[in-house]
Amino acid sequence: MNYYSKNLNASKLQKCYNIAPPRIQQLLTAEIDFVLRKLSLNDIVLDLGCGYGRVAIELAKKAKKIIGIDISQDNIELAKNLYHPIDNLEFYTMNAVKLNFSAEMFDITICVQNGISAFKEDPYLLLTEALRVTKKEGILLFSSYSNKIWQDRLHWFQIQVDEKLLGEIDYEQTKDGLIVCKDGFKAITYSENDFFKLASEFNVDANIYEVDNSSIFCEIKKK
């Protein structure tokens, strides 16, 4: 079961971000700003795991078109309700490892906010499909958390627990970038080495950027 699609979606997911403390809000803004710097006015962008459109709406202010996909129908319905009609913004219910798009359709494909963990899909299959739909010379941007933000990240999750959005945190198992809750929620962290190891299985160039001492971005370029 994907926890985000079944338990933590739509208005609950929106609340998670609305109640984020200032340091996490800074992280979220820094992630968006980093992606915006990579965009050009003519880019068509795919936002994997778009949720209720929190990131997509900001990217739509710069790029030619943003297409957001999410496995949760409730997330997509909320995104459409929040941001309809915006001409260069589209949302679809779709699995990130089974994309209903033609090959080489997107200039940039993004998967931010630790989606590589949240999707609960095989990372190899996820990157395979993301590469398929990204143009030659296009780029992919995947992000996870820096270990420098660990205490603030854990504090944010405890706030979500206090708001009854998540089950109680299992502090015996929660450590070293891993967050485990007693209701079945589990979030890992992808490190710089994890990203490089994954990218090495493909014919790509990969670079790592640490943003705001909080996010690790892996930029992958198709050869």
pLDDT at 1 over 70: no
In a domain, 184, yes or no: no
Number of domains comprising the chain: 1
pLDDT one-digit tens code per residue, 129-162? 999 999 999 999 999 999 999 999 999 999 999 9
What's the pLDDT score for residue 222?
A: 86
In the predicted structure, residue 57 carries a pLDDT above the cut 90: yes
Mean pLDDT of the chain: 96
d(CA 127, CA 123): 6
Kindly provide the residue ranges of all beta strands, DSSP E only, lying in 42-105, ordered along the sequence.
Answer: 44-48, 65-70, 89-93
**167 found inside a domain:** no
- At 106-133, the pLDDT tens digits run 999 999 999 999 999 999 999 999 999 9
Provide, rounded to the nearest whole percent, the portion of the chain with pLDDT above 90.
Answer: 94
Residue 54 maps to a domain: yes
Domain, as residue range, for 35:
3-148+189-222
CATH number of the domain encompassing residue 71: 3.40.50.150
Residue 109 domain-assigned (yes or no): yes
Is residue 34 domain-resident? yes
Report yes or no: 95 and 125 within 8 Å, Cβ to Cβ: no
Q: Is 173 contained in some domain? A: no
